[in-house]
Amino acid sequence: MNIRNTGILLSKEIIQGPKGFIFIWALVMPILISFVFSVVFGTLFSEKPKLGVIDEGDSQLVQSLIEHDSIIYREYDSETELKEAVETGSVNMGIILPDGFDTALRQGNTTELKAYIFGESLAKDRIIVAVVIGDLLREIAGQEAPVEIESIFLGDEESIPWSDRLLPFIVLMAVFLGGVFVPATSFITEKEKRTLDAVIVTPTSIQDVLASKGMFGLILSVFIGIVVLLLNQAFGAHPLLLVMLLILGAIMAVEVGLICGVFFKDFSTLFAVWKSGGILLFGPAIVYMFPQIPQWIGRIFPTYYLINPIVTVTQRGGSWPDIATNVFILIGIDVILVGLILLSLRKTRKLAG
């Protein structure tokens, strides 16, 4: 392999690459998805029950509900709006507070409360909403809790919010879209347009071509990975460790991309593989999203050894000793893939020859 030739080809990739759709797609998609997930779905995936309220008077309950941490409060202007919100599941329960509600409650008069319940809401959500409302009403009525509660936490596990559960998916998307597609499509294009034949009759070798395309994919992949981690505020404690992980992950992605580029004759084939084989890459992210799935299943997938260290560092405060084993496995996978690329080079030489 000639470093100078590789450098020249890499500069060509850097100039030509951004003009292609795949480059824009690989760059924009993860950032867009990350943005959508964090802004929109970050709140939608919250496991807190949602309560909709119409306040026909000026109830003190409203302010207490707004400030309460156990539920998400939403206000509605009309009963029609409230019923629609309950029917579609926007809120788990909707209540209508009549005018003079607080006064009646304080005076100990029987007070009527109209409640709409979303039929698909979980039993535990209904209980949470009911006990929260009950407690706040007792506060308004001036009742004092006849008990002292001491809460003790056991174990050292932490609950994982949805915004965190989605991070592995977003990171994999960031690293693998650019890492796989940019080198793969670039190589396939060279084969389709027969420019590869032209290049290798010059002093440039197939290795130079592959290395330049791989380098370009690697740079893009690591860059998007860092951007996505920054967007998700997950670049905190050990940035160097995270960059190292992203580089190792990007190497895996690029190697997969180069193998695809060598073996597949056209884009249709590449996307057909992505359609079904993509699950092999995103498997650990799906397992991580749903803790009910046995977590050992994640270990079957090669990308687990990228995602697990990233999650350990960004979400569990882990450092090198906690991730070392998985990082070495990741390096091992990268080395095996290098071997596969070297094997695939034989095929490339045949193609070029």
Stretch of residues binding another protein (CB under 8 A), selected from 7-15, 122-130, 212-220, 317-325? 122-130
The answer to whether the CB of 251 falls within 8 A of the CB of 218 is yes
DSSP string, 9-54: HHHHHHHHGGGSHHHHHHHHHHHHHHHHIIIIIHHHT--S-EEEEE
Q: Apex CA 26: angle with CA 23 and CA 30, to 5°?
A: 150
Q: Cα 161 from chain centroid?
A: 12
**Nearest-angstrom CA–CA distance, 37 and 167:** 9
Whose Cβ is closer to another protein: residue 88's or residue 202's?
A: 88
Token digits of residue 292? 């009910």
x/- string (CB under 8 A) for another protein, residues 45-64? x-xxxx--------------
Minimum distance between the CB of residue 190 and another protein, rounded to whole angstroms?
A: 14
Whose Cβ is closer to another protein: residue 48's or residue 238's?
A: 48
* Inter-helix orientation angle 182-192/21-36, to 10°: 160
Report phi then psi at 108, rounded to 5.
80, 15
Stretch of residues binding another protein (CB under 8 A), selected from 84-92, 219-227, 236-244, 323-331? 84-92
Whose Cβ is closer to another protein: residue 47's or residue 197's?
A: 47
x/- string (CB under 8 A) for another protein, residues 261-280? -----xxxx-xxx-xxx-x-
x/- string (CB under 8 A) for another protein, residues 298-317? --------------------
Count of residues touching another protein (by CB under 8 A): 86
Told to check if 89 binds another protein by CB under 8 A, we report yes
Minimum distance between the CB of residue 23 and another protein, rounded to whole angstroms?
A: 11
| Binding-site member from 56, 63, 99, 131 for another protein (CB under 8 A) | 131
Told to check if 118 binds another protein by CB under 8 A, we report yes
Q: Amino acid identity of 73?
A: Y
Stretch of residues binding another protein (CB under 8 A), selected from 237-245, 284-292, 312-320, 340-348? 284-292
- Lateral strand order in the sheet of 93-97: 72-75, 50-55, 93-97
**Nearest-angstrom CA–CA distance, 130 and 149:** 19
**Nearest-angstrom CA–CA distance, 196 and 347:** 14
Please, which residues have CB within 8 angstroms of residue 312's CB and are 6 or more apart in sequence? 318, 322, 323, 326
Told to check if 15 binds another protein by CB under 8 A, we report no
Whose Cβ is closer to another protein: residue 130's or residue 345's?
A: 130
Whose Cβ is closer to another protein: residue 131's or residue 336's?
A: 131
Whose Cβ is closer to another protein: residue 66's or residue 131's?
A: 131
Q: List the interface residues with another protein, window 170-209 (CB under 8 A).
A: 185
x/- string (CB under 8 A) for another protein, residues 152-171? xxxxxxxxx-----------
